[in-house]
Structure 1
Amino acid sequence: MGIVLNQSLKNTIITYIGFGIGAVNTIYLYPFFLGATYYALTNYVLSAAAIIMPLLAFGMQNTLVKFYSQCKTEHEESRFLSFTVLFPLVLSIPLLLIGLFFYDDIADFISKENPIVRDFLWLIPFTGLCMAYFEIFYAWARVHMHSVFGNFIKEVGLRFFSLLALVGVYYNWITVIEFVYVTAGIYFIAFIVTMFYAFYLKRPQFQFTVPHNAKDIIVYTFFIILSGGVATLLLDIDKLMLNQYIKIENIAYYSVATYIALVISVPSRAMHQIVYPITAKLMHENKHNELNDLYKKTSVNLQMVGGFVMLCIFVNISQLYEMVPQEYSGGIPVVFMIGLSKYFDLILGNNNAIIFNTKYYRAVLFLGVILVFLTIGLNMIFIPMYGIMGSAFATLLSITLYSLAKLMFVVKRLHLYPFTKQTLYSIIITAVVFLLFYFWQFPFNPIIAIGLKSVLVTVLYVYVNYKFRISMEINQVIDNVLRKLMLMR
């Protein structure tokens, strides 16, 4: 767990710095500098690009992680890395040509409710392709156990340059329309920088040949495309469907709420970067006991850290919304619904990494496809009735069902169990602390009130979890910090 904890802590710190910058962008700069319409438009373009990204990447970011450890020689490594880079490019070209041929039909359908979307549709495949190749080269770095730099680009770099672009809008260096194009350019720069970093770590001799296990790779890739598509659709389809039923400004209100809730998933995103290749290695070597131990550790660690983040958000949500324009305040119930779905997914630990590296993954992927149709159906029912709250409820229900399905699969098929008695203790602690602080409002400036309440929650939550020994790894980190502080005295 040493390298996992080390890089996970670095990735967590980097990711939270990125989310801090993103919070400034989301809560203040986007609403006040960009306005609801162009904020919503930017989010729509990025969400649509994220949805087509797994198809344009052809699942190679996950395929690379799974099969790289099976390469025995430098020649096999170069051939495999070349394949993962060139294969998506070859297959993306005909897809993009088909999209170009039917461009007008697609544009008419998508811009039916909000005509402003039409002129920016071409940015979606461009940005999606940049996202796809960023993920491929990021996976390239991760298989060489270098996850921190790519995570920095993804979590901090993208948001920091967006912040600079927003400042440019404020000072009239660029217009709100140009901002949408600049955002796509930022993703292109991120892809280029990550590509050069990957080549710095391992520069292959590019070969126009296929690996000896190409059949296994392509079959796995096909199902990973389904998996990536399912995961992304469950995350972003709500924003696309909001565009089809209600005014585009509602996407901005919804985006602020979902961004706040997504902070809960940061520990999972950070740990996943390094746990994924380790999980693949353990499964390839059939080390069941070590894998089960890793499963439990990732679950309880993520539950403790994620529960703390969720508490800080939930108990401060009213004060947080005092800092955004009044029209955004209807998103508070959205924060609770999306936040709970993220928390449940978080406590499943490295569940996804296990599923993606097992021979049984196909059954769960097909179940995921069914749940995508369920999500679409639920959104079609609830958005016209309840607007953004209806979309949030559809997302909560869909993600919860999908997470339960994946959990039952791993338990029944692989006999791996993520939960221990610490799981129940952690849930009880989180619930009690929430009830103690949610109804306790400080009559101060919102920033001061949030800071004070967060300090009190932190002290109580960390102390109780430490005393109950919820996570031995986190207790060890706390002990090391306390020991160093004692030596400094």
Structure 2
Amino acid sequence: MGLVLNQSLKNTILTYIGFGIGAVNTIYLYPFFLGATYYALNNYILSAAAIIMPLLAFGMQNTLVKFFSQCKNDTEENQFLSFAVWFPLVLSVPLLLICLVFYGDIAAYLSKVNPIVKDFLWLIPFIGLCMAYFEIFYAWARVQMHSVFGNFIKEVGLRLFSLIALIGVYYKWITPIQFIYVTAVIYFIAFLVTMFYAFYLKKPHFQLTVPHNVRDISVYTFFIILSGGVASLLLDIDKLMLNQYIKIENIAYYSVATYIALVISVPSRAMHQIVYPITAKLMHEEKHDELNDLYKKTSINLQIVGGYVMLCIFVNIGQLYEMIPEEYKGGISVVFMIGLSKYFDLILGNNNAIIFNTKYYRAVLFLGVILVFLTVGLNMIFIPLYGIIGSAFATLLSITLYSLAKLMFVVKRLHLYPFTNQTLYSMGLTFVLFLAFYFWEFPLNPIIAIGIKSVLVTIAYVYLNYKFVISSQINEVIDGLIQKYLKKV
């Protein structure tokens, strides 16, 4: 776990820096500088691009991680890496041509409620392709056990350049419409930088050959497309469906709330970058006990860190929304519902990495496809009735069901168990602290009130987790920091 903790810590720090920049963008700059309409339009384009990204990548970012460790020499590695780069491109071209042929019909359907989206729809496949190849070259770096730089580009770089572009809107260097195009350029640059970094780590020797295990790769890749498509749809389909039923400004209100809730999943995203290849290696070597131990450790550690983030968000949500324009305040309920769904997914540890590397993954993927249809159906029912709150409820229900299905699969099929008694203790501790702090309000400036309450929550949360030894690993880290501090004193 040394390498995991080292790179996970760096990734977590970078991801939270990125989310801090993103919080400034989301809570202040987007609503005040860009306005609800263009903020919603920007989010709609990015959400649509994220949905088609797994199809354009052809699942190669996950396939690369799974099969790279099986290459026996440099020749096989070069064949496989070459295949990972050109294969998605070959398959993406006909898909993009089909979209071009039917562009008029697609544009008419997607813009019937909000005509403003019609002129920008061509940006969706462009950004989607940039996202796809970013993920492929990021995976190229990760299999070399270098996950930090790509994580920096993904979590910090994209948001930092968006911040600069938003400042440009404020000073009228660019217009809100031009900002949409600048966003597309930012994703293109991110893809190029990551590609050159991947080539720096391992110099490419491209070949127009296919790996010897191309059949296994193709079958696995097909199902990874389903998996990636399911994950993307469950994450972003709500924003696309809001556009089909209500005014586009509601996407902005919904996006602010979901972004706040998404911060809860940051620890999982950071740890996943390095845990995924380690999980693949343990499964390939059939080290069941080590994998089960890793499963439990990732689960409780993510639960503690994620629970702390969720607690800070929930107890400060009222003061946080005081800093946002009045029309955004209907999203508080959305924060709670989406936040709970992220928390439950978080405590499953490296569940996804296990599923993607097992021979039984197909059944769960097909179940995910069914749940996508359920999500669409629930959104069709609840959005017309309750707007963004209805969409949040549909997302909470569908993601929770999907997470439960994946958990039961790993427990029943692989006999791996993420939970211990500490899981229940952690949940109880988090709930008690929520009740203790949520109704305690300070009649001060919102930023000062959030700061004071967060400090008190941090002291209570860290102390109680340490005292009851919820995670022995985290206690060891705290002990190490204390000893290091005492030595300096």
Whether these two folds match at TM > 0.5 is: yes
Residue in structure 2 matched with residue 95 of structure 1 by the alignment: 95
Residue 232 of structure 2 is aligned to residue 232 of structure 1: yes
Q: Which amino acid is 1:483 matched to?
A: Q
**1:129-168 → structure 2 map (5 Å cutoff):** 129-168=129-168
Q: Within 2, Cα distance between the matches of 1:191 and 1:98? A: 24
Q: Within 2, Cα distance between the matches of 1:161 and 1:479? A: 38
Q: Within 2, Cα distance between the matches of 1:109 and 1:76? A: 46
Residue in structure 2 matched with residue 411 of structure 1 by the alignment: 411
Q: Within 2, Cα distance between the matches of 1:154 and 1:339? A: 22
Please state how far the C-alpha of 1:36 moved relative to its aligned partner: 0.1
* Alignment coverage as a number of residue pairs: 489
Q: Within 1, Cα distance between the matches of 2:70 and 2:368? A: 28
**1:158-237 → structure 2 map (5 Å cutoff):** 158-237=158-237
Residue in structure 2 matched with residue 488 of structure 1 by the alignment: 488
Q: Within 2, Cα distance between the matches of 1:55 and 1:295? A: 29
In structure 1, list runs of 5 or more residues that go unmatched. Answer: none
Please state how far the C-alpha of 1:473 moved relative to its aligned partner: 1.2
Please state how far the C-alpha of 1:472 moved relative to its aligned partner: 1.2
C-alpha offsets along residues 411-444 of structure 1, whole Å, 9 cap, x if unaligned? 0000000000000000000000000000000000
Q: Equivalent residue of 2:444, what SS?
A: coil
Residue in structure 2 matched with residue 48 of structure 1 by the alignment: 48
Q: Within 1, Cα distance between the matches of 2:83 and 2:482? A: 49
Q: Which amino acid is 2:335 matched to?
A: V
Q: CA RMSD in A?
A: 0.3
In structure 2, list runs of 5 or more residues that go unmatched. Answer: none
Residue in structure 1 matched with residue 284 of structure 2 by the alignment: 284
Q: Equivalent residue of 2:95, what SS?
A: helix
Q: Which amino acid is 1:104 matched to?
A: G
**1:50-449 → structure 2 map (5 Å cutoff):** 50-449=50-449
Please state how far the C-alpha of 1:204 moved relative to its aligned partner: 2.1
Moved more, 356-365 or 472-481: 472-481
Please state how far the C-alpha of 1:14 moved relative to its aligned partner: 0.3
Q: Which amino acid is 1:339 matched to?
A: G
Q: Within 2, Cα distance between the matches of 1:187 and 1:463? A: 42
Q: Within 1, Cα distance between the matches of 2:389 and 2:437? A: 25
Q: Which amino acid is 1:461 matched to?
A: Y
Q: Within 1, Cα distance between the matches of 2:173 and 2:391? A: 36
Q: Which amino acid is 2:183 matched to?
A: T
Q: Within 1, Cα distance between the matches of 2:306 and 2:426? A: 11
Q: Equivalent residue of 1:181, what SS?
A: helix
**Identity of aligned pairs, percent?**
84
Residue in structure 2 matched with residue 8 of structure 1 by the alignment: 8
Please state how far the C-alpha of 1:459 moved relative to its aligned partner: 0.3
Q: Within 2, Cα distance between the matches of 1:382 and 1:288? A: 43
Please state how far the C-alpha of 1:203 moved relative to its aligned partner: 1.3
C-alpha offsets along residues 282-337 of structure 1, whole Å, 9 cap, x if unaligned? 00000000000000000000000000000000000000000000000000000000
The TM-score with structure 2 as length reference comes to: 1.00
User: Runs of 4+ in structure 1 displaced over 3 angstroms?
Assistant: none
Q: Within 1, Cα distance between the matches of 2:146 and 2:278? A: 12
Q: Which amino acid is 1:394 matched to?
A: A
Residue in structure 2 matched with residue 35 of structure 1 by the alignment: 35
Q: Within 2, Cα distance between the matches of 1:454 and 1:307? A: 13
Q: Within 2, Cα distance between the matches of 1:482 and 1:17? A: 24
Q: Within 1, Cα distance between the matches of 2:334 and 2:164? A: 28
Q: Within 2, Cα distance between the matches of 1:256 and 1:161? A: 19
The TM-score with structure 1 as length reference comes to: 1.00
Q: Equivalent residue of 1:419, what SS?
A: coil
Q: Equivalent residue of 1:428, what SS?
A: helix
Please state how far the C-alpha of 1:235 moved relative to its aligned partner: 0.2
Q: Which amino acid is 2:438 matched to?
A: Y
C-alpha offsets along residues 372-399 of structure 1, whole Å, 9 cap, x if unaligned? 0000000000000000000000000000
